Structure 1
Amino acid sequence: MSVDKIKTEKSVPNYETLIDDGMKVLSKDEYLQGKPVALTLVSKTNVVAYGTIVDVNGAGKLLHGVPLPMNCMRVSVDEAVEKSALLPFPIPNECDTVGDAIGTHVSCPAHLVVMKDEKPQRKKIVEKKSNPVLPSNVPRSLHILYCYDKRGLKIPGKHISMFLDHDLFDDEYELLVDLEDITPFYLLEPISANCIVVYMWILFKKMKKDNKVKKFRFMNPHTISVMPYVSKLDENEKIEHLNSWASVLVDRLSGAARNQLVLVPYNVGCHWILTVIDPYVEVVYLLDSLSHRNRYEDWKYGPRQPDAKQCGYYLMRFMKEIVEENAASDKDSLSSIFMKTVYSNEEIDEVRSEWAECVCKTLCFVLFLTPISVVPLVALVVFGLYELGFPKVTRE
């Protein structure tokens, strides 16, 4: 056997891994989910894209409404090396090439999925990145919050406690925001349901100020979104969970007033979408930043995200424009709002800045409990002085 053949023979490893917590055995599926991989065609030396494993064993599961083929993995396409390369399993009338599939999920034969640390060496143009760890163009208030995150929340168990208005979800609600929420938000990585809830609170306070509370109603994403453990339940347990989620959603819809839209953020598993419902006229709209996944034209609304990471930020922007533009339930109203094909960096940074300022204002109530070096910076953000350029803080 030649040396080259030995180097390229390995693909996805077939083993179990032990962890210290009670010597729990992780199956291959659990170990590989979320791992970065290289996608190849024909042979393992022909890398056409890079992505992330979403589901190792896709047998019997649906992807874009079609059952996954046998011995295939569900993989998100994050970066294309050869955009014109044909997909092994094209998505009818939507995606035929690797370039079309950026930001969505595809089926890929398991033997052509190569772990990134085992991928074959191939020549590739290396783009220079000025600051690969901390971006230099983040909103100022978000940078301050990130600095606080590193100093004040690095100890396990530390968090920012936010008590939300009772009327937001018709319930007393305390939200705990920690470094696992703030750090991805700063780095423009996929965000948690906590981040979505914070922005819903921001919009709700604007609605109260503008007398729009009777126009819109929010659904708590924590109560209905897909949780990682659900896929491991048996069929009866899954049905029980689905019935529970349906009951919660029905209760929320039944409390809506006439001509009031219900905004329902939902995580379908590694992807955020926004459903807009008018329960009185039985109208439902789906705003999906990966809109090419939908087969029906009537369900295609909203700009499309440029990568596989920004769905949460696009969802927040969707809600912002619906509330601020005073959208109605008719199709023409939503169509007139979402005319763009993509949001600019400035439009995404606007919602990120609003989010950071809200969390910073919450911190003003606990300034004396924060590290002393962070207190003045948080206070400046709270009172709006930092946005005016005072003081000048060097980014780390």
Structure 2
Amino acid sequence: MEEGNDVEEEIGIERKIKKEKQNVTVQRRWTRAQMKTRIRIEKSSILKMTAMMADRQATKVDSIRVQSENDLFGYNSYTYLNWDDFEAVLTMDELTGAVIVSYMMVLFNKLKYGSPESDHGICFMNPAVISPSTRKVKSKNIDDASRGLVDRLSKRKGNDIIFMPYNPGRHWVLGVLDMKSNTCYYLDSLSSGNFNMQLKQIVDSAMVLYTTQSGSNTRCPTQSGSTECGYHMLRFMKEIVEEGIEVLVKDNIGDGKAEYTTADIDEIREEWSTFVTGFIYR
């Protein structure tokens, strides 16, 4: 009897510890929510519903798996979102790599299931392959990143336009390779005249095998705050997906706007929300 009581007591203690951990996690997350203001949620039924679903479900699990139906990066692709990722979108905070990748899935689906005219021969580079990693002791060097880009080019299946989201450290920029014209376009929402040199070195090293030499720093809408770079980069990709490489050739990203409107940015947030909420209760 005493042994049985000991076992029951141990089980009870384990359950109590588990419950306390869950309570601490939820409390910590709600404390973060109270510290930041959610932006323009009340004006959007989609964002409002996403906030409700994230608060009810994303706080109860470690992560939510989001998967692309096909070879987004040349292989089966998936990512994991947690409550902080949802909160970043809802508060207009800096976007994480997981949010960037999951929105790339939105664009990939547009290309895959849209009309034949909407397929502009676009493929995507995983930003984790070329961006410096803050999670590793040794940051990704240019040679490693270049080899990763070369590997992606070898699996592009005839697609001539490659999106390369890149984060050198708390800032998102976009490189767009056009293999037909042997040109790389660089889009940076912080500056129209000074793209990230490390990304250019990665591209130049990789393109030695493909003899792509020219580069063009493209005019694009600039961000007014300190955390909007990810939203701008996703908007750049969206416009190229919808309009084709001509929008870069004509130097017309943003349709001549100096800055994107709140409606332009919120469209990205709503498209992302519509896609990822479908995975919350799976």
Aligned to 1:340: 257
Q: Does 1:165 align with 2:69?
A: yes
Q: CA RMSD in A?
A: 2.7
Q: Count residues in correspondence.
A: 227
Distance in 2 between residues matched to 1:295 and 1:151, nearest whole Å:
41
Q: Does 1:219 align with 2:116?
A: no
Q: Which amino acid aligns with 1:210?
A: S
TM-score calculated relative to the size of structure 1: 0.52
Distance in 1 between residues matched to 2:248 and 2:224, nearest whole Å:
28
Q: Which has the larger radius of gyration?
A: 1
Aligned to 1:145: 50
Structure with bigger RCO (C-alpha 8 Å, 6+ apart): 2
Distance in 2 between residues matched to 1:337 and 1:189, nearest whole Å:
22
* SS in structure 2 at match of 1:172: coil
Q: Give the CA deviation at 1:280.
A: 4.1
- Larger proportion of strand: 1
Aligned to 1:246: 146
1:159-238 paired onto structure 2 within 5 Å: 159-208=63-112, 209-211=114-116, 212-213=118-119, 215-229=121-135, 233=138
* SS in structure 2 at match of 1:166: coil
1:132 to 1:259, Cα distance in 2 relative to 1, 3 A: closer
Distance in 2 between residues matched to 1:329 and 1:341, nearest whole Å:
16
Aligned to 2:24: none
State the percentage of identical aligned residues: 30
Q: Give the CA deviation at 1:254.
A: 3.1
1:343 to 1:140, Cα distance in 2 relative to 1, 3 A: same
Distance in 2 between residues matched to 1:351 and 1:214, nearest whole Å:
20
1:338 to 1:273, Cα distance in 2 relative to 1, 3 A: farther
Q: Give the CA deviation at 1:330.
A: 6.3
Distance in 2 between residues matched to 1:299 and 1:136, nearest whole Å:
32
Distance in 2 between residues matched to 1:144 and 1:330, nearest whole Å:
35
1:319-334 paired onto structure 2 within 5 Å: 319-328=237-246, 331-332=249-250, 334=251
1:301 to 1:327, Cα distance in 2 relative to 1, 3 A: same
Do 1:278 and 1:329's aligned partners in 2 also have CA atoms closer than 8 Å?
A: no
Q: Does 1:355 align with 2:272?
A: yes
Aligned to 1:303: 221
Q: Give the CA deviation at 1:354.
A: 0.7
Do 2:120 and 2:244's aligned partners in 1 also have CA atoms closer than 8 Å?
A: no
Q: Runs (4+) of structure 1 moved beyond 6 Å?
A: none
What residue ranges of structure 1 are gaps of 5+ in the alignment? 1-130, 367-396
Distance in 2 between residues matched to 1:337 and 1:348, nearest whole Å:
11
TM-score calculated relative to the size of structure 2: 0.72
Q: Give the CA deviation at 1:164.
A: 1.1
1:80-91 paired onto structure 2 within 5 Å: none
Distance in 1 between residues matched to 2:275 and 2:248, nearest whole Å:
32
Q: Does 1:283 align with 2:183?
A: yes
- Tell me which of 308, 314, 336 is aligned to 2:232: 314
Q: Which amino acid aligns with 1:262?
A: I
